[in-house]
Homo-oligomer: A and B are copies of this chain.
């Protein structure tokens, strides 16, 4: 059994939001050849994608080839549109959520979906979260690592996390709009250096801001093995201890404590680093994610976990599917007769 809890999907067609809302910045899809499309923003090329990014049947073919039983899909972070006017951001989120629910309907034993929220307006975000959970039956949502100028500790966002806790919705925090990207114009460095920093910033924000402390029931996962956070927990903890006047102002708890409360995917591309993570947080905090269908992901989902020869079969199963079921709060019976 394999559950890939970190995969992306788009609708095959996107509305002309620029015309609809009267301003630009939104992604559009131009289908340029059979099975090939370009994500365009205001006529400028953003990224080339293939059918495996919008066709559930194609995604399942790949899942079958790779032995993935269940794929947990969510949108591509560039679709968050937190910068848009709130009602427009809410319309985008609604379109994406209604679409992604149809992916689940296409094969509910193989697909689980995470919703999208217009976090630039926390009230609208909470309403959309309720819609996702109560109307669409989604187990949770994907959110960005920050929202425009707000880090995740901003009090204005707290009610959204509180609503997720109350609704039992899980959260996947995905890096996007990478911190310092303007300082790293070459060599794909926003993805290689910025994303790990962005994720560490998100985790530290939720810890030092006291969000995780106030919401112990929140089931929250961070992409790409938690980025730079797990490897720098020593530095972060040491900073907390030596400068509590700077670090412990809103939460007096040692940041290391939260390693037991948060989840990470296993997209670290390195057996030594995955072993480090297993020793640091335990297999019960780790779950197979692949970042499918993007090239920076694990192309055969789960192969890194399976390659480790010095962990138990139980630990492997925990990471390959059991942790994901706990995080999603879904029973195995949904997927297996």
Whether A188 touches B239, Cβ cut-off 8 Å, given contacts A183-B146, A197-B194, A228-B231, is yes
Per-position 1/0 for A264-277, Cβ under 8 A of B? 00011110110010
Check: A78 CB closer than 8 A to any chain B CB: no
With beta carbons under 8 angstroms apart, the residue of B187, B209, B224 that contacts A235 is B224
Asked whether, in the complex, the Cβ of A231 is within 8 Å of the Cβ of B230, the reply is yes
Residues A273 and B273 in contact in the complex (CB < 8 Å), given A232-B196, A295-B242, A296-B235: no
Number of interface residues of A (CB under 8 A): 54
The answer to whether A249 and B187 have CB atoms under 8 Å apart is yes
In whole angstroms, how far apart are the Cα atoms of A209 and B184 in the complex? Answer: 12
- CB pair A235–B200 under 8 Å, yes or no, is no
A151→B190 CA distance, assembly (Å):
13
On whether the beta carbons of B197 and A180 are closer than 8 Å, the reply is yes
Instruction: Let me know if A243 and B188 touch, CB within 8 A.
Output: yes
CB distance from A79 to the nearest CB of B (A): 21
A153 with B183: CB separation less than 8 A: no
Question: Which residues from B are CB-within-8-Å of A237?
Answer: 269-270
Closest chain-B Cβ to A25's Cβ sits at a distance in Å of 20
A333 in the interface (beta carbon within 8 A):
no
Interface centre among A188, A231, A273, A276 (most CB of B within 10 A): A231
Nearest first, the 3 A-B pairs at minimum CB distance are A234-B270, A231-B231, A234-B269
A residues bordering B, Cβ < 8 Å? Answer: 146, 151, 153, 179-180, 183-184, 186-189, 191-197, 200-201, 204-205, 208-209, 224, 227-228, 230-239, 242-243, 246-247, 249-250, 267-270, 272-273, 276, 279-280, 295-296
